Structure 1
């Protein structure tokens, strides 16, 4: 029991560091700044659910998915890096689009899109997280890996749902500064993601 708990903590800590839900908070706050508290909670729930399902699916059948589509984790890393780079540049310039709501029918579609891309994929459940869960599955019992992923999903939901308290403490100016700082970090992460993908693809 103690050994299983120790393994759980190690796996959870590693996956938490890679998914980095805390780092996703500035992006989350930026794209949802025009939403009500209820709308932000809805996106937080959908983002956590999408990231959890994505990681579980890739943990269980990730290798077959990549083989079926003739792709690889390295190609996923390059594509995800390009997407994040574009987002990071928008954050640096302060032009990252926020969610706009005009009608209830449009709200559901918009929330779904934002929760899935870019928040859940590739910002949280990116190539690093996908590779990690696939490696976990190769050397640890499947039920334990699934429990770790579910725990990460709950953590993501809890952190993103608390963004309102963060915004109140930072204030409007503080949020803008944090978003631009995160934009710089995000662009560097994106470049590194592309570099890693190229290295892996060409076995450099």
Structure 2
């Protein structure tokens, strides 16, 4: 029982750290600034649901898909790192544009941002996808696989709660506090981006030198 709890805690903390919902929150607040509360909640729900489905999908089929398409985790890290870097740069300068949406375009707009960039790559990013694939590959029993899926369910729920209540936190922090939070998270996102790029490039460069 204790081993199961420890394993569950390990799975949960690894996903929570890689997803970093506090880093997603400023982007969510910025992109949904002109929407009403009900639409914000619906957007948070859809984005976390899409991210959850994708994480479970990659956990169950990731290795098969990667082999079929000839995709490597290293390539995924590099692409994700580039995306994160540019996003973090905008966050660092607190210049993410607050989009004004017409009433007739609210539905299509929320559908768009729910999937990208919120679900992909902010919540279900290369780090979380890689984590799901690697952890599932390392499981040796069906019980461990169930614990892994349950941890994805739990962390997705926590992300949803944070995004759903982001407006309350925004009002508590105010515009200045939100800008400070966004700059801080932007710096963290850029550091994570560099780590992704470097960790993705290392084995590729190593293979090049080995071939030579």
Output the TM-score relative to the length of structure 2.
Answer: 0.86
Moved more, 20-29 or 148-157: 20-29
1:186 equivalent in structure 2: 189
2:200 equivalent in structure 1: 197
1:148 equivalent in structure 2: 151
1:125 equivalent in structure 2: 124
Give CA-to-partner distance per residue, 1:39-92, whole Å, 9 cap, x none.
Answer: 221221112112111110110000122222221211111111111222122223
Unmatched runs of 5 consecutive residues or more in structure 1: none
Using the alignment, how far apart are the partners of 2:164 and 2:6 within structure 1? Answer: 28
Q: Is the 8 A contact 2:45 2:160 kept in 1?
A: yes
Using the alignment, how far apart are the partners of 1:195 and 1:152 within structure 2? Answer: 27
| Structure 1 ranges of 4+ moved more than 6 A | none
Using the alignment, how far apart are the partners of 1:72 and 1:18 within structure 2? Answer: 19
Output the TM-score relative to the length of structure 1.
Answer: 0.89
Using the alignment, how far apart are the partners of 1:21 and 1:111 within structure 2? Answer: 19
2:172 equivalent in structure 1: 169
Q: CA deviation at 1:135?
A: 2.1
Equivalent positions of 1:22-41 (< 5 A) are 22-41=22-41
The DSSP-based 3-state class of the residue aligned with 1:23 is: helix
The DSSP-based 3-state class of the residue aligned with 2:33 is: coil
Structure showing greater radius of gyration is 2
The DSSP-based 3-state class of the residue aligned with 1:24 is: helix
2:98 equivalent in structure 1: 98
Using the alignment, how far apart are the partners of 1:190 and 1:60 within structure 2? Answer: 26
RMSD, aligned CA: 1.9
Give CA-to-partner distance per residue, 1:124-156, whole Å, 9 cap, x none.
Answer: 222221121122212333222111111111111
Q: CA deviation at 1:166?
A: 0.7
